[in-house]
Structure 1
Amino acid sequence: MHEYFTNNSASVRSRRILYTPSTFARASLCHLQETGSLKAIHPHTSERRGLVSFLCFVVLEGSGDLSYEGREYELKAGDCAFIDCRKGYSHSTGGPSLWALQWCHFYSPSLPAIYEKYRERGGGPVFHPENTASICGTLTELYDLADSSDYIRDMRINEKLNFLLTLLMEQSWHPENCERTKKRMELTAVKDYLDEHYADKILLDELEKQFYISKYYLLKIFKETYGMTVNGYVISRRITQAKHLLRFTDMNIEEIGTAVGMDGANYFSRMFKKIEGITPREYRKQW
């Protein structure tokens, strides 16, 4: 299971585990493919193409370069990379400051969509987290789990990989300037308004006037920040409240639709099923 390089002729000293997940994990879970750490002892370049995998690595020390999607990124200690290896990439280190890395390759059937969401929310292939300790700690835990004989380790690895994805999503965004930060902070007021008035008719023109923010910029930055459109957020709030009313009141379907701003039993039922996969009546029967 281990692959550990120490010979002087090698370009790196590497400590890694090549992991083979179960058939169940491969089909249903976020599963590990490989994890480890390395220290370059000579300049070297690694290149991969068409690998069905996603790679997360942290630069522990030194510096190097990443070539990905037609761009070149310079990386230094404390930088983190998160890339889709199906698109091909290469990374290299050289000169007097050879790097040390900690990494994992992983995949799941849903990971391409998760990565797309990561990019939509402003996550880049390379970013500098405020603190790499949580990411490195998770990578270490993944290594230890892969090296263990835990009989439910695929489930534990799935849990750790999802935690890693949460960290990457959370720590990858950094505002480019103070003005952008101010605009994002103004979104809190918009969101609070939507939370309170979700049942009302929401017009972008009215939001623009009330909060003194361009509706086009609002649409862009709202989706970057919250991962959905303004309209999508309002619908989500309406459905959430509708589920509460279905479970904890005796209101009929039409009354509930009206109460959450979705007039008409047919329209409400259609939208509810689109989001939840079942009709309001079927949802109520479950409880």
Structure 2
Amino acid sequence: MKVLIVDDEKHVREAIRYFVPWEQYDVSDIYEATNGQEAMDIILEQQPAVVFTDMRMPLMDGAELLEWLHRCSPYTKTIVISGYQDFNYVKPAIVYGGVDYLLKPLNRKQLISAAERAFQKWKEEKRERERTFHQNIRLNVLRPLYWDKTLSDLVNGTITFQDLEEALFEELGLPKNAKRCRIAVISLQSSGGRLLQRFQGDIQLTSFVLANVCNEIVSLRKLGFAFRYWHEGTDVAVLFWDEVDEAERLLLEINESVKRAYGIPLDIGLSTVLPFPERLCAAFTEAREGLAERNLLQTGNRIHPYRKERSEAALDEGDRTAALLENLRLSLLSGDAERIVRRLEEWTDSVAGSSMLTLNGLKDREARLRHVLTRWRQEWSGSEAGSDDEPPFPGGMDESGNFSIERWKEGIKSYLLIMVGESKLSRTSDSRLIREIRDYLDKNYQQEITLQHIADRFFLSRENVSRKFKQVTGENLSDYLTNLRIDRAKELLHNSELRLSRIAELVGYEDEKYFSRVFKKATGQTPREFRKRDEEG
């Protein structure tokens, strides 16, 4: 604590210094002033806990100083020391909260007793201020979580508007005359989940950042409120309760902010204008359907309003594509790779030929394909393996975050050929050994690996390693290792700011220039060109 003694008489200031055992009260510094004006400057700079002040002083007397302290330094405790018992001197001490009023000449015991009360009161109030401060911090941390959970329950219909009415008015600024609403929903899986990748896959952090971006535009203008949705299917929702006709413009502004900050646009579903609060749940359902039923084949538009009319072609695949899938299943049983690819392309071409392909429609088609593959695996291996054992299908998003039917077709084709290769592994005598070699490469590709190293580790000759690997997988071991490293390098170039020399080391190349040559041979681009194109996209 710091103390200030204000008196125009030096012997009084010295007496106060002498009488009070400052070290007992953790007083670190004692300052002096001869009048109120000097005292003001010291108080502003040093923020003393306690001020001892005379009442009659030149330039600014004690009454004026007490009044100023009450306004400008309310936590400071004051002890008035005066040679007068006149009520005009006592009154300011009472009005402005003085701890004590002592008469000169000073009594040592009274002075120490008054000082002790002032120090004790200042410490108690300081502890209370700190407790309140930390409590407010906790409340400020919990407040967004509370509204995330509460509004999620509200749009779900778990709680009613009447349960929250007053809190919505007071805390979120909901107008009491609000009669209309719209809801927008955002999934972090849109644009291929690229925004989520920027935050290392942390859904909580990503949705927190996104909700804050939305509220910078919506909540600060008191036009609505964005919150993290606590259940599945949506990550962030935006409730518009005023100027609902401006919702699309505001969402475009949100998307532009996200794109400007992270280079990634997002797809947003938007409900129609509905009565508030009666149709709030319906608005949320519409927004989710607007996002799920967006046409993936149309690029550029990122705001997807709900529409009642839906294409029959998008809702039902029909007998024709079912027959194509059956042909694919039969070709899989033959084990003929060329025939399998031909039948798969017939099916993927039928999907690409649709006039409309929604997210739900794509998931439905992929579910049917997975059912065919699961049946084939069971028939091929005689196992009871279910679809849960299979990895997810590759996504079809391009560098701009748009759905690319060509990329999707190529991804499905590569996926299927890998599965065909796995099936061959399960039926050859050398399958277990080659599986172990591939598992070893998958886990240790970042190390220096030679053919001789593999041969020594698995007790084979170099010639045997190459021949068996090629026979079982249809691919040279060196090509498999190179492709593995290049794929990992692409991920690091896409999702990190690491230097090229570091990326080269992480994927098993000590020489950055050699890594660049291998990368260009495999992709047609240098690593720098790949990263630049990725960033521009």
Per the normalisation by structure 2, the TM-score is 0.23
Rg (Cα) greater in structure: 2
Per residue, is there more strand in 1 or in 2?
1
Bigger relative contact order (CA 8 A; separation at least 6) = 1
Per the normalisation by structure 1, the TM-score is 0.40
